[in-house]
Structure 1
Amino acid sequence: MLVGYARTSTLEQDAGFEAQVRDLKALGCEKLFREQVSSVGPRPQLAAALEFVRAGDTLVVTKLDRLARSVPHLGTIIADLEARGVALRIESLGVDTSTPTGKLMLNVLGGVAQFEREMMLERQREGIAKAKAKGAYKGRKPTAQARAEEIQALAAQGLSMNAIVAKLGVGKGSVHRILTARKETGLIQ
């Protein structure tokens, strides 16, 4: 049995979602699992699809990024499917793990993707190091520190830490650090 899985990250991606469903039906998928959720959050329909497939079935996706969020995640999915005798077909890549060539291609593509990710991270680290050496890399601007005087004034008015957090929309830990630092330096009582 061909089992299809379609996913988009947001509800605004209706056209892409409909195209995936249309393509999966055209490929002959008898059962479809579909969801519109981010790849980083829980994906109940993917879990349901992986639980549904049985030995001899093929899980079909239109594109690789609809299925896995990373190379290790893809490896986990493939290992689970292989252990249960289920093949994986990725239409956009022409990969079908029911064949030896398909398995080889998926492993090569996964290795290339992992290599590119590691190279990108290395380039990013080098760029940050160069920017730091030039004094151009400052990191994220501290948001609560910019409002330290306002936090101090609200505390002086008798507002609790929770009330300050709610009023200003800054983190409780940040408010605590500012008030503690001010107390230690004798700026507030």
Structure 2
Amino acid sequence: MHIGYVRVSTEQQHTERQEILLEDVDKLFIDRCSGKNTNRPELNKMLSFVRSGDVVIVESISRFARSTRDLLHLIDILTKKDVNFVSMKESLDTSTPSGKFMLTVFGALAELERETILLRQREGVAIAKSKGLYKGRKKMINSEFDRIFTQWTEGKITATQAMRKLSWSKSTFYRRVKERKETQ
């Protein structure tokens, strides 16, 4: 069975370009999330779905994994299941010895590309900060904070319950608590 895997980084990005290239596959899995790690819902479903003799086909390695370590880990999972991997852009097929070798080379290039993008982003942020143009991420605002903060300080709810009600992480919650206490 030929299994296609498509990934875009955000909900707003389109998958059509990849889907057109993979139109002949028997089953298609589509993720709309970052490729920075392998904790992706459709990727995990695809890895559970594949069986011996299947072929996983992707448009490019960068759509499958962003680091050499993740790529080699995913390929190891597929290999242990006797599943081959094909990347159309790189003309790579792990059913051949040269394909296995090239997989490592292209994986390293994909990781280099990702690291270069992050470096350029950090450089751009540093320049914008030096010019006073970058203020950082916008604060998470929740109109319920005052009410929930009061409930928490009065001991009516726990910090964990407050975080859950606000849909905030622990660090965001305690940062806002600190800010609130400083303004009182």
Normalising by structure 2, what TM-score? 0.61
**How far 1:174 sits from its partner (Å)?**
6.3
- Counterparts of 1:83 and 1:138, CA distance in 2: 48
The AA in structure 2 aligned to 1:34 is L
Pair 1:176–1:60, CA change in 2 (3 A): closer
Report Cα offsets for 1:100-155 as digits up to 9, x if no partner: 2212222221111111211222222222222323333221243559x8xx95xx79
- Counterparts of 1:170 and 1:84, CA distance in 2: 39
- Secondary structure, in 3 states, of the residue corresponding to 1:93? coil
State the partner residue of 2:37.
none
Unmatched runs of 5 consecutive residues or more in structure 1 = 25-31
State the partner residue of 1:180.
181
Report Cα offsets for 1:33-85 as digits up to 9, x if no partner: 333442453125312234x2x2xx24231413696242333221112223444
Pair 1:46–1:134, CA change in 2 (3 A): same
Report Cα offsets for 1:133-188 as digits up to 9, x if no partner: 3333221243559x8xx95xx79xxx7569xx9xxx79565664454334xxxx5x
Aligned length: 160
1:130 pairs, out of 127, 141, 144, with: 127
* Larger gyration radius, structure 1 or structure 2: 1
State the partner residue of 1:61.
57
Aligned alpha-carbon RMSD (Å)? 4.1
Fraction of identical pairs, as percent: 25
State the partner residue of 1:95.
92
- Counterparts of 1:130 and 1:34, CA distance in 2: 42
Q: Where in structure 2 are the equivalents of 1:110-189 lying within 5 Å?
A: 110-142=107-139, 144=141, 151=146, 160=151, 173=174, 176-182=177-183, 187=184
Pair 1:59–1:67, CA change in 2 (3 A): farther
Contact 1:5 1:60 in 2 (8 A): yes
Pair 1:125–1:110, CA change in 2 (3 A): same
- Counterparts of 2:125 and 2:17, CA distance in 1: 36
State the partner residue of 2:66.
70
- Counterparts of 1:173 and 1:181, CA distance in 2: 12
- Counterparts of 1:18 and 1:143, CA distance in 2: 35
Contact 2:62 2:110 in 1 (8 A): no
Match status 1:108 vs 2:102? no
Report Cα offsets for 1:10-45 as digits up to 9, x if no partner: 6x9685686356322xxxxxxx33334424531253
- Counterparts of 2:77 and 2:7, CA distance in 1: 23
The answer to which structure has the higher helix fraction is 1
Unmatched runs of 5 consecutive residues or more in structure 2 = 35-39
